[in-house]
Structures are given as structure tokens and as C-alpha cells.
């Protein structure tokens, strides 16, 4: 589980860095839209490799939560909710 926790932490830190850079430099934000899918594909491949090499397992509830947090799903839900809240104001 320490490997999965480290992976989840690194994944979310990189995602937050991308989002932070998008808001800092609006002119480069379109370029980051190409980085996100490439990063998600690379991160998914790394997760598959870790699973095949038996470095990570998804047996406990905690490991399943970490797996969900290591995917683009929570990020996309958060962006959707924030955009709806911003539109409501």
C-alpha cells in the first residue's frame, strides 16, 4: 500500500501543478489541455505496470479509494462542480 499511496500523492500533485499553471498563464492553458490526456495515459500505464508486477493490489477498501483518487474521474467531477457553482453566482 505505500507504493499506491505514493503513486496517488504524486499523481494528484502533478495534476494540481498543471491546474495551477493553467490559472497563472491563461495564454498557455490550451497547451495544458494536450498535457492532461498524455499525463493520464502515462499515469494509467504506470499503474497497470505496477499492478502486473504485483507492487500494488486493490484488495482493501482503502486501496480502492486510492485507486479512484488516482484517476481523472475525481478531477473531472471537481471541475464540473466548480464550474456549475461559478455559473450559479
One pLDDT digit (tens) per residue for the chain, 89 residues: 688 889 989 988 888 888 888 778 777 777 777 888 888 899 999 999 999 998 888 889 998 998 888 888 888 888 788 878 877 66
pLDDT score, position 52: 93
pTM of the model: 0.77
pLDDT score, position 1: 67
Provide long-range contacts, Cβ within 8 A and 24+ apart, for 70-74. Answer: 70/4, 70/7, 70/8, 70/11, 70/12, 70/43, 71/44, 72/36, 72/40
Half-sphere exposure of 8 (CA within 13 A, CB side): 16
Domain spans in the chain, listed from the N-terminal domain onward = 2-88
pLDDT score, position 33: 78
pLDDT score, position 46: 92
pLDDT score, position 45: 94
pLDDT score, position 89: 60
Amino acid at each position: 500500500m505505500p507504493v499506491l499511496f505514493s503513486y496517488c500523492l504524486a499523481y494528484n500533485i502533478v495534476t494540481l501543478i498543471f491546474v495551477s499553471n493553467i490559472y497563472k498563464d491563461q495564454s498557455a492553458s490550451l497547451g495544458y489541455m494536450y498535457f492532461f490526456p498524455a499525463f493520464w495515459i502515462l499515469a494509467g500505464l504506470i499503474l497497470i505496470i505496477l499492478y502486473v508486477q504485483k507492487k500494488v493490489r486493490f484488495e482493501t477498501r482503502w486501496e480502492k479509494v486510492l485507486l479512484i483518487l488516482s484517476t481523472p474521474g475525481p478531477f473531472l467531477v471537481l471541475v464540473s462542480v466548480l464550474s456549475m457553482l461559478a455559473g450559479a453566482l
